[in-house]
Chain A
Amino acid sequence: MFLGLRRFPGRNLLITLVNTGMGLPPVVVGLFVFLLLARSGPLGNLNLLYTPSAMVIAQVIIALPIVAGVTMAGIQNLEEKLKYQILALGASRFQYLFKLLQEGRLIVLSALAAGFGSIISEVGAVMMVGGNIKGQTRVLTTAIVLETRQGDYSLAIALGIILLLIALFLNILFTYLQQRRLS
């Protein structure tokens, strides 16, 4: 939102970074987080590698530019006068930002859906930083990879169907929120 609203030095650079980030290969993010958290890495003493926290960090890095980039475009796309109108009715800074998100709901939810889509289907990064440890850091995607490699295709297919159903369900929810009370 900040990117969409404010003009500041370095804004274009930041936008370029965000846009690049939207196409960031997850494996590279995985490698980067892996190196960061590895025992001999700069954050190695936190002992986060091969934990769910490490996976969350990697996923956030993958999803953030997508959510930020799409939200920025959406907020920028709202009419300039609408922004003035909200403030002219006496909105505080926080109320103003909240109202913008509400008015840009369509695009904000699209951003969330896109961010969600990019991480639920992600394998490489979570595998690298999570380690695919059974009962701890094994997720649906990494489990599918593992079962396929082990030749247990029926289990892999079943897991695939579950993954698809979860994605479908959440997207139905997003769509509902997005299209509710819209024209």
Chain B
Amino acid sequence: MNTLMQLKNVEVALEGKKILELEELDVHSREFLTVLGPTGAGKSTILKLMAFLIKPKLGEILWQGEKVNFPVPLHIRRLISMTFQEPLPFQGTVFENVAYGLRIRGIRGKELRMKVEETLELLGISHLKNQSAKRISGGEAQRAALARALVFHPSLLLLDEPLASLDPLTKEKLEPELYRILKQIGITCVYVTHDQEEAYFFADRIAVVDHGKILQVGTKEEVFYRPINAKVARFVGTENLIPAIVCSQENNLVSLKAMDKTLEAIAPFSPGEKVIACIRPEEITLKKDGAALEKVSARNQLPGTIVSIDSLGPVVKATLNCGFPLKVLITRRSALDLNLKPGDLVVATFKATAVHIFSEDTGGKNG
């Protein structure tokens, strides 16, 4: 795998205060890397670094293995393109907006017109080309901004929360379309978002960032299903973080004691270790207590009482008390079939492989 860009031991300070500190972050050629983290975590700063819009106080940035010196040569800056959360339209028509990147690169006439029209077509906004870019809707303006960033075929596209300022319907429509377009042109993309679903949807790999530091980088499966600590687990939507103690271990199958319950998981931990077990709420199924217990392959069967049922539309979130709180996501249909209500006794069932464990104190040891 080719590494397109590499940030090494980079530090950024703003008014004397350190706002970003990265040991290493690589962008591989043709991958989609999403940077996920809460507001103010330093996500946008990472993008600005990658676009060479700001200069790091320390550390170096490598482009295709070569160190980039400041001031960054124009021909390198021109391989990179970036959009922001707001579409930031320029004065003039949509056509002129999209043409800007080509004009400053000295492209004129027929070639310019062809490239702009091709890109407008790609983004589905050909019909807007003669309209003022400041007078189109939010979704259209975001498409125009993307067209403006893509028209000169950059090697690296940086997207800073491109869907965050859109209404849910527009977002729902643009999200898969944007993904399809970007995959179609085979561009390398770094995508910043605070939305875990969006991050998962767009990513090949995810970097989780908080307080100016990278907490974890990995494939989206790794980050979502094997978070290295409680913070990452929470960012990626793992709502069940259960403190437990390892009782026994045999062939990587560990048994854990959590309050008065026993959990089984696959992890290389030794007896006596204090750990956190995390279980994603959608990995758990519910059965009514007393219903005929069929043979199930799931090793974990925890009895509990339903504390609350919250409908989230197509899915229902049930909160159980199993000695510790346990959140479960089930479909609306199965919630109706089971006729669940607060106070009911149920059994929560999940596989040993659905339980991910990390050490309580460090968060570094990974199972």
Question: Which residues of chain B are near A77, meaning CB under 8 Å?
Answer: none
Stretch of A66-74, A89-97, A155-163 on the interface side: A89-97
Q: Which residue of A has the minimal Cβ distance to B78?
A: A90
Q: Mark A75-110, 1 if CB is under 8 A from B, else 0.
A: 000010110110111111001000100110100000
For B105, give the chain A residue with the smallest CB separation. Answer: A90
- Kindly state the separation between the CA atoms of A182 and B82 in the bound complex, as whole angstroms: 26
Check B101–A85 contact: CB distance below 8 A.
no
CB-CB under 8 A from B48, the residues of chain A are: 84
Residue A183, interface by CB 8 Å = yes
Minimal Cβ-Cβ distance residue in A for B160: A81
- Asked if A181 is at the interface of the complex by the 8 Å CB criterion, the answer is yes
Nearest CB in chain B to that of A105: its residue: B91
Contact with A along B122-164 (1 / 0, CB 8 A): 0000000000101100000000000011001000001000000
| Bound: A89/B88 CA distance, A | 12
Cα distance A57–B320 in the bound complex, in angstroms: 83
Residues of B near A102 (CB, < 8 A) are: 90-91
Q: Given contacts A79-B88, A103-B91, A105-B91, is CB(A89)–CB(B134) below 8 Å?
A: no
B53:A84 contact, CB within 8 angstroms: yes
* Minimal Cβ-Cβ distance residue in A for B100: A89
Interface of chain A, helix or strand or loop or mixed? Answer: helix
Answer whether residue B14 sits at the interface, using C-beta atoms and an 8 A cutoff.
no
CA distance A82 to B104 in the complex (A): 16
How many residues in A have their beta carbons less than 8 Å from beta carbons of B? Answer: 19
Q: Is the pair A81, B132 in contact by a Cβ cutoff of 8 Å?
A: no
Taken together as a complex, chains A and B put the C-alpha atoms of A102 and B103 apart, in Å, by: 14
Interface size for B (C-beta < 8 A) is 27
Q: Is B77 an interface residue (CB 8 A)?
A: yes
Known: A105-B91, A181-B91, A183-B134. A90 touches B81 (CB 8 A): yes
Check B132–A82 contact: CB distance below 8 A.
no
Contact A95 B134 (CB under 8 A): no
Q: Which of A84, A102, A105, A182 has the most CB of B within 10 A?
A: A84
Q: Mark B321-337, 1 if CB is under 8 A from A, else 0.
A: 00000000000000000
Check if B360 is an interface residue, CB within 8 A of chain A: no
Instruction: Give complex CA distance A92, B73 in Å.
Output: 10
> Residue B200 at the A interface, CB < 8 A?
no
> Contacts of B271 on A, CB cut-off 8 Å?
none
- Which residue of chain A is the closest to B51 with respect to CB atoms? A88
Q: B residues within 8 A CB of A81?
A: 84, 86, 88
Q: For window 21-44 of chain A, which residues contact chain B by CB distance below 8 Å? A: none
Asked if B74 is an interface residue, CB under 8 A from chain A, the answer is yes
Minimum distance in angstroms from A82 CB to a CB of chain B: 5
B267 part of interface (Cβ distance < 8 Å): no
Q: How far is the CA of A79 from the CA of B149 in the complex (A)?
A: 18
Q: List residues of chain B with CB within 8 A of the CB of A87.
A: 51, 53, 77
B80 at the interface (CB under 8 A from A): yes
* CA distance in complex: A81, B92 (Å): 18
Q: A81-B88, A85-B84 are in contact. Are A90 and B53 (CB under 8 A)?
A: no
Q: Which of A88, A95, A99, A182 contacts B90 (CB 8 A)?
A: A99
Q: Determine if A85 and B88 form an interchain contact, defined as CB atoms under 8 angstroms apart.
A: yes
Query: What are 28 residue pairs bridging A and B, where the CB atoms are less than 8 Å apart in the complex?
Result: A79-B86, A79-B88, A81-B84, A81-B88, A82-B88, A84-B48, A84-B51, A84-B82, A85-B82, A85-B84, A85-B88, A87-B77, A88-B53, A88-B81, A88-B82, A89-B152, A90-B80, A90-B104, A90-B105, A91-B104, A92-B104, A102-B90, A103-B90, A105-B91, A181-B92, A182-B91, A183-B132, A183-B134
Residues of A within 8 A of B (CB): 79, 81-82, 84-85, 87-92, 95, 99, 102-103, 105, 181-183
Q: Lowest 4 A-B CB distances belong to which pairs?
A: A88-B82, A90-B78, A89-B101, A85-B88
Given A87-B77, A89-B101, A89-B148: 16 more A-B contacts, CB < 8 Å: A82-B88, A84-B48, A85-B88, A87-B53, A88-B80, A88-B82, A88-B83, A88-B149, A90-B74, A90-B77, A90-B78, A90-B152, A92-B104, A99-B100, A181-B132, A183-B134
